[in-house]
Structure 1
Amino acid sequence: MGRPRTNDATVKARLVECATELLATRPQESVSVRAVATAAETSTAAVYSLFGDKKGLIGAVRDKAVASLFQAVTAVPTSEDPLADIYALATAYRRWGREHSHLYSVLFGGVQSFTPSGTVGTGDPVRPLIAAIDRALTESVLDGEATSIAVSLWVTLHGLVTLELAGAFDAPTAEAAFSSTILATLRGWTTPAVFRSLRHDEPAP
């Protein structure tokens, strides 16, 4: 059986899939165009034809991960409680990481890693979080600067999910650690009045 055409959409998707798997388990520098092409059962010419070079292929993998995460977090409905919405977004992020561990490893494992920043594009996965934080600031629920709060939450959430995917927690411990740590981080940014109320009335998961 001959190798598939180098410009076929199916081949392109397979190359991205194989590159994702390799990048999730090996250092980036050790993943060659030939290794990806072999895993995808096609030729190196297909990689160069479809992506230009290795950098273009890695960019396609990252774009797939960003788009997938963006889809997951934008599917979270908005409620009247901005703190509950932020918690729900954190939950969606965690669920995505658990269900797409290869993509998570690529996106946050050193391959042109994604991090929240002051510039948020329309397809940026952090955009829904910034929007929820902005609403919480406007409603005097949180106190601080939106980007600083987003980074604080992301660092906490990223650490929790990374440890969970690495097998550091059993299931009950992971659930408890996620809930208590995210809520504690949120409390740390609340206004004094909201902080006092949250001691007895935390936002619902």
Structure 2
Amino acid sequence: MVRTKNPAVRTRLIERAAQMLRAREPVTLRSVVRDTGLSTMAVYTYFGGMEGLWQAVRQEGFTRLAAELGTVTRTKDPVRDLTALGAAYVTNALANPDLYRVMFDATVDLENPTAADDTLHILVTTIERAQQADRFAPGADARSLATQCWAIGHGLVSLVATGPLPHDTLALGAPMLVALFVDAGDTPATCRDSVGRGWPFRPPGHDAGKP
């Protein structure tokens, strides 16, 4: 009789491996199951071995990112939506700091190599919507602009989640995105309004009713 795999066990091993990597602990077949009540056979059962575990750890980072991006509601304002996707990127990284550090380790293959491109493509299609709505210049390189949005989010996360700066630093993302989007063709006042509605991170004492 084939034993049904338990998704919770798979997730537990993935998260434990990510935590150990973040703490710079040596991750071996034995150490990853230590104190979990699982045997080393679990790594083979769920991942086919350590190489499969590494791939699954990195893949899980993109899986959770895609899920978070999927929570962003599409509105009639593509610039607001693009901003909200950037905020979702940051939110996911803060919620999953261990997996976030591993997902960009290109020395490890992904189970699904298109996962990273798929998440970036969500931003690309939103930028194309902004171009069609005459918010961004039609000649702008959508993929390049999406990468720049990613870079802003990644930089902020690196400084806050895994770096020395306080959470309030995330508020700086709004003016950075405004500058990027105005350079892409949006008008300053309209852009500030859209970004203000899409970026939830505020400095202390900020009136939540204002962008």
Q: Could you tell me the TM-score, scaled by structure 2's length?
A: 0.76
The aligned runs of 1:44-55 (5 Å cut-off) are 44-55=40-51
The aligned runs of 1:19-58 (5 Å cut-off) are 19-26=17-24, 30-58=26-54
- Once the 2 structures are TM-superposed, how far is the Cα of residue 75 of structure 1 from its aligned partner? 0.9
Match of 2:175 in 1: 180
Match of 1:62 in 2: 58
Q: How many residues align?
A: 190
CA distance in 2, matches of 1:72, 1:18: 21
1:135 to 129, 132, 154: 129
RMSD in angstroms over aligned alpha carbons? 2.9
Assess if the C-alpha contact under 8 Å between 2:65 and 2:92 holds in 1: yes
CA distance in 2, matches of 1:113, 1:103: 15
Q: Residue type of the partner of 1:140?
A: D
Assess if the C-alpha contact under 8 Å between 2:72 and 2:85 holds in 1: yes
**Structure 2: gaps (5+ residues):** 198-211
Q: Could you tell me the TM-score, scaled by structure 1's length?
A: 0.78
- Match of 2:179, SS state, is helix
| Aligned sequence identity (%) | 28
CA distance in 1, matches of 2:78, 2:175: 18
C-alpha offsets along residues 42-93 of structure 1, whole Å, 9 cap, x if unaligned? Answer: 2222212321121111111222221111111111001111111111111111
CA distance in 1, matches of 2:67, 2:104: 17
- Once the 2 structures are TM-superposed, how far is the Cα of residue 130 of structure 1 from its aligned partner? 1.7
C-alpha offsets along residues 89-128 of structure 1, whole Å, 9 cap, x if unaligned? Answer: 11111111111111212213556488xxxx9669932232
**Structure 1: gaps (5+ residues):** 1-5
CA distance in 1, matches of 2:18, 2:80: 33
With 145-154 and 40-49 compared, the bigger mean Cα shift is at 40-49
CA distance in 2, matches of 1:111, 1:38: 25
CA distance in 1, matches of 2:72, 2:51: 32
